[in-house]
Each structure stands twice: as structure tokens, then as C-alpha cells.
Structure 1
Amino acid sequence: MSLFFIVSTLLTISIVVWLLIFIDAKLGLQKINRLEDEPVAQDGPLVSIIVAARNEEKAVRKSLQSQFLQSYHHLEWILVNDRSTDNTPNIMNERQSANKNVNVIHITDLPLGWLGKNHALFVGAKQARGELLLFTDADVLFHKEAIGKAIHYFIKHELDHLTAAPNLRGQRIWLNSFIAFFMFGFSYFKRPWLANNPRSKVGIGIGAFNLVRKEAYEKLGTHEVIKMRPDDDLMLGKKMKEKGFKHRMITALTLLEVEWYSTLKEALIGLEKNTFAGLHYRVSMVLFAIFGVFVSQVLPFLTLFAFDRTLITLSIGNIVLLGMIYSMIIKRMTNYSPWMFLLFPFTAILFIYSIIRACFLTFMRGGIIWRGTKYRLKDLRDNKA
């Protein structure tokens, strides 16, 4: 079997796959609503905002300030300091002193069998009085109408769980191109639009904004059912949908904003904790992901310079489809320019490197290190359900 036959076959299969993905994404993205289009709820149920933070002094003050300026006023805050060693506890205590609707919980020890953030959210939820619980990260900036619009959407659709995609902000072009590529890959791999299809079992959760009915959360089994999942936000939505609760995913690109990471190096380090989890802790899935990304997203840019008309034609077909899908997803799921596609082959290689790096370090360390705490790979695998 010649190398030409193998490469041309791979490129042909890739074109077919991208064509199917294009059709799927074209139809699916239309089913994801924009939170910006919703009116603001003036009244509604008490919402308990649960923020878990470990060493977040650089971000938590601004995040909380944006929350306190919300136009929706029926709110309470459960701020959970998860073993912080910086100024985070003091910032939280200041907020409690200034606002009667703020309750601060300080965690000093992590029980066995729990990831730190998951345990902190679980502890916070137990203290919440609200009919609705909003789990959010400590670095999210809220537009003043974000929660009011979300409550209106939640009530209108009689939901049990609502998650919203924020604008992921970066500071430099290579970091931004990596974020854009990550969103592209996440979208075609996870197909988040299926979260809005009641016949599908696909569920999505995003750490910036997971709004859940407390009754449904307790029936699910709380964070105890995902206590060892580093991708806790995603798994919360997945479990809610699997259990038959009414669930939707929307975008809120001008209402929620997160500086995902401040540098590309931080992004690579951050992905260490959940890359292997996202591939179900299986080496076969890791190898398949590396091979798949290379063949479908790097190889066409290499064979574009081949001295064969067939390979060049197949390469152009792949690149055109890639560009169309990339543009469609980026314009709908981010605030980035589709022109980031010019850096696509380089960020694809960088993404492959991030997969290899994360999985290699997980094996070498015998687990993951997250927020200064090490969690054994064996324990993570035993609790991956």
C-alpha cells in the first residue's frame, strides 16, 4: 500500500467528516439562544450565588463587585474560601461586613475523596437558602443585567438547569488564537447545541455560569456525584441532562466575561487538570485524539504543498471546509475574529502538544496537581463516572 494511497484516503475521509460536521454545526448553532435577547426579570425567586475561591485575590474583588451591581436584587451570596493562603479570605470577610446578604465559609481541611473546588461548592450549596443556586467562578465579570436576563429565560422555559457561555478574554494574539481554537474544538467535539435537544442525552455545564434549581440539584445527588471530577462544571450539566432534568445552554458573550488565562503558558498548565479526564482517562482516546487532530487539522496544510494535483485538491477541500466551520463557530461562540484562522495550523500543533504534555505529566506525577493539591490518578479513574 503506497504512501500516496494512505494520505489521499485520509484526506478524503477527513473531507467527508468535515462536511458532516458543517451540516451538524450549521443546524445546531441556530438552536443556541443569546441571553442578550432576553428581557430582564424584575422579580422572581431567591438566587443563592455560590462562589468557591482558592488564592483568587487578583480577581475575586472585581468579580464580586460586578455581582453586587446586578439589577436583579433577590440575591444572596455564599462565598467559600477553600484553604487560601493569600488575601482571598480577607476580601471575602470585607464583603460580608459590608453586605448583610453575604455569608462567608472558611474551609481549612479537604476530606478524602473530594476535589477542593467540588467540595467547596458542595459546602456552599448546603448553606444556601435560595430556590435557585448559581455556581460561578471567582474570576467572572457580570454585566448588571446578566442575572436578571438569566432568571427570565430560566422561568420562561421552566428549566432545572441553565448554563451560559461567557466571553473568554485573552491578552496576546497567540493566547487568543489558542482560545479560539479551543472553542472550535470543544464545539465540534462536544456539540453543545445538543444540550437544547430534549431527545439527546448530551448536557453541558460551564463554570462561569451554572444556574440550577435547588430541588433538582438535591435530587441529582449534589456535587457528591461528581466529587472527583476535575471537569466538574461540564459534568454537572451532563448529569442533569442524563437524569432527565430540563436543561439548556445559551451564550452570554456581552454579559459575562472571563480572562481564561493571562498567558499561553498558564493556559497549558491549566489544561493539565482536565485534558485526560475529558478523554475518559484512556490512552486509546489520547492516541485517537492526537491522530485525529493531526490528520484532519494539520495534514491538509502540509499536503497543500505536495507535487500532486489530487493531494492539492483534497487539501484545498479540507482547508475550505475547516475555514467555513471555524468561522461559523467562532462568530457564534466567541467575540474573536474569524481571521484567527490564519494561525489555525500552528494552534492545531500547539493543541496536540497540550494534549501530549498534559497526559504525560499526569502519568509522570501519578495524578494531577490542582490549586496546590495533588489528586492521585487511581482515585480519579475510580471516580470517573
Structure 2
Amino acid sequence: MLLILLTLTLIIWIAATIDAAIGFSKLDSLEKARDIETGALLSVIVAARNEEKHIQLSVQSQLVQTYQNVEWILVNDRSDDKTGSMMDELKEIDSRVKVIHLTSLPEGWLGKNHALFEGYQQASGSRILFTDADVMYSPGAFAKAVGYFEAHELDHMTAAPDLSAKPFWLKAFVAFFLFGFSYYKRPWLANNPKSKTGIGIGAFNMVTIDAYKKIGTHEQIKMRPDDDLQLGRKVKEAGLKQRMVTALKLIEVEWYPNLKEALAGLEKNTFAGLHYRISMVLFSIFGVFVSQVVPFFTIFSNTKAIAMLSAINLIFLASLYTMVTKKMTRFSPFLFFALPFTALLFIFSIIRASYLTFKRGGIIWRGTKYTLNELRKKNDL
């Protein structure tokens, strides 16, 4: 049985490595795009709930962008810290900033999705940039993004930021997360017009107003915790032109300050990503364990065939992991040696998120509870 499993996983890793090599070769770096300093009005929408630690620095990094024609709609989503007052201060120092203060959440909406939708209703630009409240931008980021967007006549573009992390195990976990995301979601397919696979990243989702209306706005994904991913999916399914790029030197976000908060953050969308199905949870746990933990131990097997198959598995695993870390992160590929431990940690996060979702009867996100029945009912896309 072990020989069969190792053979099957080897076939999978060979295919995934070839697929990634071809796919990553088609991902452009936004740093290489030409700058455009003026053009169509860009409406930047930032939704924030209790983001007093980040909102001011994030928006200030945007206000100094070299691209000139920008407006900002900052949406305070029922914050009970200083987020709202900080937004008002930003409005006072720059006339391009608008602020919306929300005090209630309509039934059937997740808070962030509702806030982004409310921001869109106040937008005047022909293009919208949905971004998070903790994202930091280099001064030329908007100019290069708009330049690339126009040059390729896009309807939607998403950019992979530099996910910064300081503690070793957090860094290793981020690298593992991006590794799994890459082979599971195959984000490069966003750049293939023949594929229906779409992608969206919360740090940077730029979309034309016409495309956003065509996909039905956030009203169509109002109960999705993974709204950023689903926005990209909707765009691609509508047959619109989409591109994913990397922007590791232009856009930076600290995913989470520590491993504990990373695990807590994954509570909201891990089970959603598995479509709230126990069968998918069990399949994911089994698949990750067999393909990414077992070979590290069976390489020491006394059975020559098992040891050899394990070694070849690890070679292709390392090749794929190195490709992902070099293209999607600024981390060292030597974090590969932590892979079996981060894989086990990821399995723990899946079990934990699923258990807590059932125990609570739903998810708790930014202080608001959304029931499991409600999420399942409204997430059948």
C-alpha cells in the first residue's frame, strides 16, 4: 500500500512541478511595468474594522503615490477603537479622501464585503482598487499597476504582495501556505484566457467599474469570507480579461504578527475554502499528510523501493517548493527543511478551524458571528 501511495504522490508532484514551471514563466513582475503618472480616475476603497495599528501608515503610503488621479474611500466598519477618528484625520490632511462611517450590518452580509460595497457606491472612478487596511505601498506602485492594466487592456488585475514575517516558524508557515495555495489553486491559470480559473488577492484587486457591475458587485459574494478570491473567480467566469502579477518590491503586508494570530485568522476561511464539507476536510488532511509528511520519514525505510520512491518524491517536492518561494516570496528556499512540520501545523489548523466552526455554529470574524447554516446556504456559487 505504501508503495502505491508513494507512486501516486510522485506522479502528482511531477505533474505539479511541470505545471508550475510553465505557469510561473507566464507571471509578470509588476516592477518591470512602465509607469503612468496620470490617466483615468482610480477609486481606492479600503474597508477597516479596528485597524488603528495599521490604517494610518497604510493610507499615508498611498497618498504619496506618483500616480496623480486618485480618490480614496475609507470605510469604517463599526470600529470601536480609533480607526474612525484616524480616517477623519486623513480626510482633513488630503481632500482626495472620503470617509464613510458604518454603524450597523444588514442581515445576510459579512462586514468587510458590505463595507467594500458601500465604498463602491461612493466611488467616482472608472477603475476601482480594493485593498486592505494593513497594506504598505512603494511610491510607484499605482503608476506601474495602472500602466500594466492599460497596456494589457484588462478588466481585472490582482497582485501578489510581499508577505512579510519575522519569527522563523511564522515565516516557514507563510511559505508553506503559499506553496499549498500555488499547487492547489494554480493561480497562473488566471492569465490563460481559455481557463475558467480566476484569482483574487485581498491586498490588491483592481477592476474596472463596468466589470465589477457585470459580475454583480459584492452582492454576489456577500457571505464569502474569501471574497477576494471569489471576486477574481467571478470575473473569469464572466469571460472578462484578467491577469495576476507579482509585486514583491512594490506592495508589502504583514500577514500576521505571530503564528498564534495566523492560526486564529485562518479560522474564518479554511473551512470555507473546503466548501464547508467534512469529506473535503478529511481528504485534505489525508492528502497533505501522505504527500508532504510521509516521504520525509519513509526515506529512511529499510525497503529499498520505498526509500528510493521517497527520495524522488522529495526531489520534486523541493523543486516545486523552491519555485514557489522564489516567485511568490522573498524567503529562503531552505525553509523547505521545515516542510514536514509546517505541513503538520497546517493539518492542525484545518482540524482546529473545522472544529471551532462546528462548536460555535459558525465563524466569528472581527467580532461578528455568522452562522454555519447561513454561510452554507449563501455560499453555493
Shorter-chain TM-score: which interval?
A: over 0.9
- Once the two structures are superposed, the pairs formed by residues 19-58 of structure 1 within 5 Å of their partners are 19-58=14-53
Query: What SS does the aligned partner of 1:73 have?
Result: coil
Match of 2:312 in 1: 317
Query: What SS does the aligned partner of 1:158 have?
Result: coil
Q: 1:101 aligns with which of 96, 101, 114?
A: 96
Indicate yes or no: 2:168 matched with 1:173.
yes
Q: For the residues of structure 2 that align with 1:65 and 1:214, how far apart are their CA atoms?
A: 25
Query: What SS does the aligned partner of 2:291 have?
Result: helix
Q: Compute the TM-score of the two structures, normalised by the length of structure 1.
A: 0.98
Q: 1:259 aligns with which of 247, 254, 260?
A: 254
Indicate yes or no: 2:365 matched with 1:370.
yes
Q: 2:241 aligns with which of 236, 243, 246?
A: 246
- Aligned-residue CA RMSD in angstroms? 0.6
Q: For the residues of structure 1 that align with 2:358 and 2:25, how far apart are their CA atoms?
A: 40
Indicate yes or no: 2:75 matched with 1:85.
no
Match of 1:72 in 2: 67
Identity of aligned residues (%): 60
- Once the two structures are superposed, the pairs formed by residues 182-261 of structure 1 within 5 Å of their partners are 182-261=177-256
Indicate yes or no: 2:381 matched with 1:383.
no
Q: For the residues of structure 1 that align with 2:232 and 2:253, how far apart are their CA atoms?
A: 20
Which letter does structure 1 place at the counterpart of 2:218? H
Query: What SS does the aligned partner of 1:359 have?
Result: helix
Which letter does structure 2 place at the counterpart of 1:256? I
Cα drift, residue 254 of structure 1? 0.5
Query: What SS does the aligned partner of 1:206 have?
Result: coil
Query: What SS does the aligned partner of 1:233 have?
Result: helix
Q: For the residues of structure 2 that align with 1:328 and 1:218, how far apart are their CA atoms?
A: 36
Query: What SS does the aligned partner of 2:28 have?
Result: coil
Cα drift, residue 42 of structure 1? 2.0
Q: For the residues of structure 1 that align with 2:323 and 2:98, how far apart are their CA atoms?
A: 43
Cα drift, residue 99 of structure 1? 1.0
Q: For the residues of structure 2 that align with 1:374 and 1:306, how far apart are their CA atoms?
A: 48
Which letter does structure 2 place at the counterpart of 1:310? A
Q: For the residues of structure 1 that align with 2:161 and 2:89, how far apart are their CA atoms?
A: 27
Query: What SS does the aligned partner of 1:113 have?
Result: coil
Q: For the residues of structure 2 that align with 1:162 and 1:19, how far apart are their CA atoms?
A: 29
Cα drift, residue 282 of structure 1? 1.1
Q: For the residues of structure 2 that align with 1:44 and 1:220, how far apart are their CA atoms?
A: 25
Match of 1:272 in 2: 267
Q: For the residues of structure 2 that align with 1:218 and 1:260, how far apart are their CA atoms?
A: 30
Q: For the residues of structure 2 that align with 1:308 and 1:318, how far apart are their CA atoms?
A: 16
Q: For the residues of structure 2 that align with 1:66 and 1:101, how far apart are their CA atoms?
A: 14
Match of 1:9 in 2: 4
Q: Compute the TM-score of the two structures, normalised by the length of structure 2.
A: 0.99
Match of 1:3 in 2: none
Cα drift, residue 363 of structure 1? 0.8
Cα drift, residue 305 of structure 1? 2.0
Cα drift, residue 220 of structure 1? 1.3
4+ residue segments displaced more than 3 Å: none
Q: For the residues of structure 1 that align with 2:222 and 2:19, how far apart are their CA atoms?
A: 33
Query: What SS does the aligned partner of 1:374 have?
Result: strand
Cα drift, residue 306 of structure 1? 1.7
> In the comparison of the two structures, how many residue pairs are matched?
380
Match of 1:124 in 2: 119
Query: What SS does the aligned partner of 1:58 have?
Result: coil
* Contiguous gaps of at least 5 residues in structure 2: none
Cα drift, residue 37 of structure 1? 0.4
Which letter does structure 2 place at the counterpart of 1:114? W
Which letter does structure 2 place at the counterpart of 1:288? F
Query: What SS does the aligned partner of 2:117 have?
Result: helix
